[in-house]
Amino acid sequence: MIGIDTNILLRWLIGPDEWDIGSSKKESEAVEKTILAKGSEFFVNSIVIAETAWILEQKLKLRRAEVCEVIDRLLYSVNIKIGDVNAVNDARQAFEAANIEFADCLISSLNREAGCRYTLTFDRKAANHAGFRNIYAKD
């Protein structure tokens, strides 16, 4: 198994003509050839998923449903293993229904898996969602 970072993942997901991420066609072809190599298995950790979701939503302006579709493709890919897969899947489900960023959903999910009752935040949007509590809220 080989770990891949956000830059490699983005070059695999996004063609060089779809968005200028500073890559050449040669780089994209190299990534595609490597990712599609028979028998190759790749590890994508939850931080890479969070960074990728942010770039897709904020920079590429993809809709929430489209970002969820990309995450689903990664979750169900036969040659990609996702780190913290249960937390990523839970975060993806929350992200689809919530009005907060995927990274916030992932933070809440990882913290719940670690045994936290909730996650304290100053973020007003996040504080309105399950798993978060505004630091100023009374218990």
For residue 46, what are the CA distances in angstroms to 6, 74, 96, 110, 139?
10, 11, 17, 10, 30
Residue 30 has pLDDT above 80, yes or no: no
pTM score, whole prediction: 0.85
Q: pLDDT tens, 61-102? A: 999 999 999 999 999 998 899 999 999 999 999 999 989 999
Cα distance between residue 110 and residue 85, in whole Å = 10
User: Is 138 within a domain?
Assistant: no
Choice between 85 and 20, residue whose per-residue pLDDT is larger: 85
User: Is 88 within a domain?
Assistant: yes
User: Is 89 within a domain?
Assistant: yes
User: Is 119 within a domain?
Assistant: no
Q: What is the DSSP letter of 63?
A: -
Number of domains in the chain: 1
Domain holding 87, by residue range, is: 2-101
Q: pLDDT tens, 117-127? A: 999 999 989 99
- The mean of the pLDDT values for the chain is 88
User: Is 42 within a domain?
Assistant: yes
User: Is 7 within a domain?
Assistant: yes
User: Is 139 within a domain?
Assistant: no
- Name the phi and psi angles at 128, rounded to 5: -85, 0
Place of tokens 């990609």: 80
User: Is 113 within a domain?
Assistant: no
Average pLDDT over residues 39-61: 94
